[in-house]
Structure 1
Amino acid sequence: MIQRLQSVWLLLAAAAAFCSIKLSFYSGNLIKDNQPKAFVSLTAQSNLLLLILTAGVGIASLIAIFLYKIRKMQLRIVLITLLVSLLNLGLYFAETQKYVPGEGKFDLTAVFAIFIPILLFLAIRGIRKDEKLVKSLDRLR
């Protein structure tokens, strides 16, 4: 299980997802009606939908690690997780529009959220390589 490279990619994606729950993605002055500007950091905890999607990506990545014997199901779960992580990233960028333009910045820890789809894509490549290897070995028997 751990000898497979995609298990490492999935574990790193899960770790990045769980880190991005607590660490900030964007910091700046938030625009609110009839209230003064307030310096706020955007994390997954600041929005319920972001929290649910981020935790779902992390949990699904961990579950996919243990499905190494059922590669087709593992591939489906990782593909769905990749789509959810891209949706999650889009929601992060949509939330940054609520901040005052020019008075905010992306934090260094935003890298965690950006790396999740990349790591999931690398895991998909590894799963497909395993599937091709198993099919080629079946032909030799």
Structure 2
Amino acid sequence: MIQRVQSIWLFLAAIALILMLFLPILSKENKTTETTIHTVGLYQDAVGKPGPGFMKEQFTPLLITNIVVAVLCFFNIFNFKRRSLQKRIAIFSIVAIGGFAFWCSIFAQKLPGGIAGAHFDFGAYLPALSILFCVLAIFGINKDERLIRSAERLR
């Protein structure tokens, strides 16, 4: 059923990945400008000015990868009848999120002046959080499999 615990964990993993679209990953502040990196692109604005500023460079492949991994986690919720497939997709999601996080670090080096002096924002920690949610979903799938095996033994 959809109300199983692994569905909740997979939904939270998808939400964490969707939040990456809106939250900055890395930011660096100079005397006059503040540069932030999102999965959408590189933003630059004047210090003290509210808002995200203007987009200096767009990261389309990173954006597409973020959306694909989030959709993969979300649609894995509906594989509840095929637990072995759901577990394999969750493991693939963990690997894909790890690759996506590595790719984010590659794009983070596009900050003007390098990443020296930059600080990580909340978006940098969301891939690790979504990996944790996928691991918890795998534990839930394993628990369901054990429950079904024990129920079949009783018959």
The interval holding the TM-score normalised by the smaller chain is 0.7 to 0.9
RMSD: 2.1
Structure 2 distance, partners of 1:23, 1:108, is 7
Residue 120 of structure 1: how far off its partner (Å):
0.7
Query: Is residue 10–residue 64 contact of structure 1 (8 Å, CA) maintained in 2?
Result: yes
Residues 71-90 of structure 1: pairs in structure 2 closer than 5 A: 71-90=83-102
Structure 2 distance, partners of 1:55, 1:82, is 15
Structure 2 distance, partners of 1:61, 1:105, is 28
Compare the two structures and name the one with the higher helix fraction: 1
Q: Does 1:61 align with 2:73?
A: yes
Q: Please, which runs of 5 or more residues in structure 2 have no aligned partner?
A: 42-58
**Percent of residue pairs identical:** 32
Inter-CA distance 23–125: structure 2 relative to 1 (3 Å threshold): same
Number of equivalences: 135
Structure-1 residue corresponding to 2:137:
123
TM-score of the superposed pair, with normalisation by structure 1: 0.85
Structure 2 distance, partners of 1:44, 1:14, is 15
TM-score of the superposed pair, with normalisation by structure 2: 0.78
Structure-2 residue corresponding to 1:4:
4
Partner amino acid for 2:87?
L
Residues 93-104 of structure 1: pairs in structure 2 closer than 5 A: 93-99=105-111, 100-104=114-118
Query: Is residue 53–residue 85 contact of structure 1 (8 Å, CA) maintained in 2?
Result: no
